Structure 1
């Protein structure tokens, strides 16, 4: 299931791994201190554990935070391990991530009708 977010939302991904024992306050502290971003803006922040089978998402909505947790039963998320601390991604890259695809595609993929897929 893909959760629908507002069209104007900014999506940030915490590159590398995050301790999944952290709850809302701990993740807010990461966003503020490590990323120098405002967690109270219209933004979704994504975090992943070292095994890449669990993700958390943090979202502020007017009167409080949502903490969304996903645990994969099989497989792993293609999580970036770049030198960047945080990276902004597009809604399309967010969908790719949740579908098990890499957010860094090296080439465009076409289907048999020559329509661009990625």
Structure 2
């Protein structure tokens, strides 16, 4: 029997971490300026292989910067209408970590700021 796809499966298979910068970024920024913002704003190493997400002031554009073995990759999306609905960031925070499922929902038009994860039972590790 094959398992059904789930958000938990997507999150579990995520090897890189995903960071969303809390403040809006200038969408004219290219590879190098975004890499500098990763260090200054998010406090992470841009060469780590993690994904770094930046939004425009209006919220209708996203840029995702990631290091891929021998160079940076920059993914850019502009909505023709509307804005991305991003998760809420705690006051005073410069960034927030996202799950792969949350990023997929943002890119698919789901308002993750209104979603709430409920507590679920999770069995501890077995002792052999």
TM-score range, shorter chain: 0.7 to 0.9
**Structure 1, unpaired ranges of 5+:** 1-5, 109-118
Residues 33-78 of structure 1 show CA distances to partners (whole Å, capped at 9, x for unaligned) of 2222011112000001011111101010010000111011122101
In structure 2, what is the equivalent of residue 85 of structure 1?
A: 94
The TM-score with structure 2 as length reference comes to: 0.73
Which aligned pairs between 1:62-73 and structure 2 lie closer than 5 A?
Answer: 62-73=69-80
Q: Which of 7, 15, 18 pairs up with 2:25?
A: 18
Root mean square deviation, CA, Å: 1.8
* Corresponding residue pairs, total: 103
4+ long deviations beyond 3 Å: none
- Scaled by the length of structure 1, the TM-score of the pair is 0.78
1: CA distance, partners of 2:64 / 2:102: 15
Q: Which structure 2 residue ranges, 5 or more long, are not aligned? A: 1-12, 119-128
Indicate if the aligned counterparts of 2:24 and 2:57 stay in contact, CA closer than 8 A: yes
